[in-house]
Amino acid sequence: MAIAPLSSSKLSASNSKSQSCDAVIIDGKQVAADVIESVKSRRAMADIVPGLAVILVGNNAASSVYVRNKSAKAEECGFASQQFDLPVDTSEQEVLELINSLNNDTNIHGILVQLPLPKQIDSHQVIQSIAPEKDVDGFHYLNTGKLTTGDTNDALVPCTPAGSIQLIKSVMGASELSGKHAVVVGRSNIVGKPMASLLLQENCTVTVIHSRTNNPGEICRQADIVVAAVGIPNFIKEDWIKQGAVVIDVGINRITTDEGKTKLVGDVDFENVRSKVSAITPVPGGVGPMTISMLMQNTLDAAIRGKSLITKES
């Protein structure tokens, strides 16, 4: 997994008088922008035009926004982006046939199927039908297996965990994770499990907390690094956090305020937790921007590897 160099402008510190420690509010937008600039530079040096195919089935409003943002970022990076908008009643076989054609298209280096899919389509079957070398979401068993065993030189790593590692390194340094106790709250295949694998590769001692864990708060309080990915608004409270910890909030939840308005919040009670931490990601503006930037990095890596393979075979 390639790690993009980061600029010195990636962080912003909060000077709130209510804070008992000067917490750094990690600027995910800036770190993501640094990754994108690295992708643009590497693409130009490699003299390659990566092809990214994005498949959207149905008319889910949030999914449509995500897909548009991904396609726009791909074009910004100089990629050839193709978007396939399929009706909500598209059959699973039709999606599989489209993926098969994209697997065989040498101009396409990355394939992304936007989730969730309509109920008549088995997401598992669809994801596993993508050629592993084009699986830029990093969900294929071959990629997850390589990640779990530490063989990431030619693996495609899930974007959100990969971005979260970048954010942690942006405040702790690439060499300072070794020996730290990291607690991952949540065990999903998309974030929790790959996040734990990435932290292990950084020589952290890793604990995964989930719904059946006894005394989760007590365990979390031991952590130097906390990664929250449970999908429950403000789930992680102040008394779960050790003084000076680094907190990465992967959650993004829409709630209704007392005034009847809606707003986005994370899985961490940000306003109260920030008084104890050394660094924390906000929601929005933290992990979210990193996901698309890491998708671009994965697509470029896939294209460069594909070009190298063609060169060796010719």
Task: Identify the weakest region by mean pLDDT among 4-8, 215-219, 237-241.
Answer: 4-8
Same domain, 181 and 244: yes
For residue 211, give its domain range.
158-288
Residue 14 has pLDDT above 70, yes or no: no
Binding site annotation covers 26? no
Q: Record the pTM.
A: 0.90
Task: Identify the weakest region by mean pLDDT among 147-156, 180-189, 207-216.
Answer: 147-156
Task: Write the CATH number for 128.
Answer: 3.40.50.10860
Neighbours of 44 (CB within 10 A): 10
Please report whether residue 123 resides in a domain: yes
- 99 or 312, which is more confident: 99
Same domain, 201 and 92: no
Same domain, 284 and 162: yes
**Catalytically annotated residue among 27, 34, 137, 269:** 137
What would the pLDDT profile of 224-274 be if each residue is shown by its tens digit?
999 999 999 999 999 999 999 999 999 999 999 888 999 999 999 999 999
Please report whether residue 179 resides in a domain: yes
Q: What is the mean pLDDT of the chain?
A: 91
Please report whether residue 203 resides in a domain: yes
CA distance 190 to 188: 5
Question: What long-range pairs does 302-306 form, CB within 8 A, spacing at least 24?
Answer: 302/50, 302/109, 302/110, 302/133, 302/134, 302/136, 302/156, 303/46, 303/48, 303/49, 303/50, 303/51, 303/109, 303/110, 304/42, 304/46, 304/48, 305/133, 305/154, 306/106, 306/109, 306/133
On whether the CB atoms of residues 304 and 46 are closer than 8 A, the answer is yes
Please report whether residue 141 resides in a domain: no
Q: What percent of the chain has pLDDT over 90?
A: 84
Task: Write the CATH number for 283.
Answer: 3.40.50.720
The count of structural domains within the chain is: 2
Burial 214-246 (b: 16+ CB within 10 A, else e): eebeebbbebbbbbbbbeebbbbeeebbbeebb
Residue-level pLDDT at 221: 97
CA distance 115 to 138: 14
Residue 21 has pLDDT above 60, yes or no: no
Binding site annotation covers 275? no
Domain boundary among 135, 167, 197: 135
Please report whether residue 38 resides in a domain: no
Question: Per DSSP, which regions of 189-284 are E strands?
Answer: 205-209, 225-228, 246-249, 253-256, 262-265, 279-280
Q: Is 83 among the residues known to form the active site?
A: no
What would the pLDDT profile of 106-156 be if each residue is shown by its tens digit?
999 999 999 999 999 999 999 999 999 999 999 999 999 999 999 988 899
Q: Is 114 among the residues known to form the active site?
A: yes
Same domain, 173 and 272: yes
Q: Is 128 among the residues known to form the active site?
A: no
**Catalytically annotated residue among 27, 34, 114, 276:** 114
Same domain, 199 and 243: yes
Please report whether residue 303 resides in a domain: no
- Stretch (H or E) spanning 50: none
Binding site annotation covers 164? no
Tell me what the mean pLDDT of segment 167-181 comes to: 95
Same domain, 87 and 207: no
Same domain, 284 and 170: yes
Residue 183 has pLDDT above 70, yes or no: yes
On whether the CB atoms of residues 136 and 52 are closer than 8 A, the answer is yes
**Catalytically annotated residue among 10, 30, 34, 70:** 70
Residue-level pLDDT at 311: 57
Please report whether residue 152 resides in a domain: no
Tell me what the mean pLDDT of segment 71-97 comes to: 97
What would the pLDDT profile of 270-300 be if each residue is shown by its tens digit?
999 999 999 999 999 999 999 999 999 999 9
CA distance 4 to 16: 31
CA distance 236 to 234: 6
Domain boundary among 100, 135, 170: 135
The helix, strand and coil proportions of the chain, stated in percent and rounded to the nearest 5, come to 40, 20, 40
Residue-level pLDDT at 222: 97
Same domain, 120 and 186: no
Residue-level pLDDT at 3: 42
Same domain, 186 and 275: yes
Same domain, 283 and 171: yes
Residue-level pLDDT at 276: 95
Binding site annotation covers 186? yes
Residue 190 pLDDT class (50, 70, 90 cuts): very high
| Residue at 280: amino acid letter | I
Please report whether residue 30 resides in a domain: no
Same domain, 281 and 187: yes
Same domain, 168 and 280: yes
